[in-house]
Amino acid sequence: MKRLAARLIVVGMLVGVVAAGALAADRVRRERTGHGKALQQIEQQIRAGRSATKRIERDPRAAPDIKQKAAALDQLLDARERTLAKLDASYRTFLSQHQSDLAELQDLRKRALALDQRLDEARKALVQANRPDIDDLKRNSQQARQLVEELRDVYQIDRQTRRQR
């Protein structure tokens, strides 16, 4: 019974480490900025997984199938670590190759914000300068609506009186 409990605990630890690693890998894919923290967390999880596998491999009471699973996990962690290093190197290469494009994009963002601000100020100034005309237009439009309603009412009354004759 103790042996079964130990196996369950070890298998639970292995599943937990692999699941945490998978979730961390998914988070790294979704996050674009600040990936350095995510990579540090993944590396910490890999170290924690390695320490668990080493404890299992050194444990004389651990069953052979559990030791085999721990060895497989260790190999997966090796592959994962190599892949992360490769991806990080690719990302750094990408950054260095496209640094001028990224700087130009940042400059365009700043210029677009400045243009947007200038256009907003110009629009506000235009509205303010033409405020009397805008107010006059609103007044005329309101009066026109009222006249249309009055004419419509008069026309309906006129039609009704013609029908009655």
| Residues 78 and 120 occupy one common structural domain | no
Q: What is the mean pLDDT of residues 103-121?
A: 95
| Residues 13 and 82 occupy one common structural domain | yes
pLDDT at 103: 94
Is residue 120 domain-resident?
Answer: yes
Is residue 71 domain-resident?
Answer: yes
Is residue 108 domain-resident?
Answer: no
| Residues 9 and 86 occupy one common structural domain | yes
With vertex at residue 135, the alpha carbon angle to CA 130 and CA 137, rounded to the nearest 5 degrees, is: 95
- Cα–Cα distance, 63 to 4 (Å, whole number): 10
Count of the separate structural domains present in the chain = 2
| Residues 157 and 84 occupy one common structural domain | no
Kindly state the tokens that stand for 71: 């060895």
Quick one: how far is CA 19 from the chain centroid? Answer: 22
Is residue 103 domain-resident?
Answer: no
Q: What is the mean pLDDT of residues 46-65?
A: 86
Query: What is the secondary structure of 17-32 as a DSSP string?
Result: HHHHHHHHHHHHHH--
- 3 state DSSP class of 61: coil
Is residue 78 domain-resident?
Answer: yes
| Residues 64 and 37 occupy one common structural domain | yes
Provide φ and ψ at 32, rounded to 5°: -105, -45
Residues 64-104: tens digit of each pLDDT = 888 898 888 889 888 988 998 899 899 999 999 999 999 99
| Residues 85 and 135 occupy one common structural domain | no
Kindly state the tokens that stand for 43: 């590396």
| Residues 121 and 42 occupy one common structural domain | no
pLDDT at 47: 86
pLDDT at 52: 86
| Residues 85 and 134 occupy one common structural domain | no
| Residues 15 and 87 occupy one common structural domain | yes
Domain that holds residue 156: 113-164
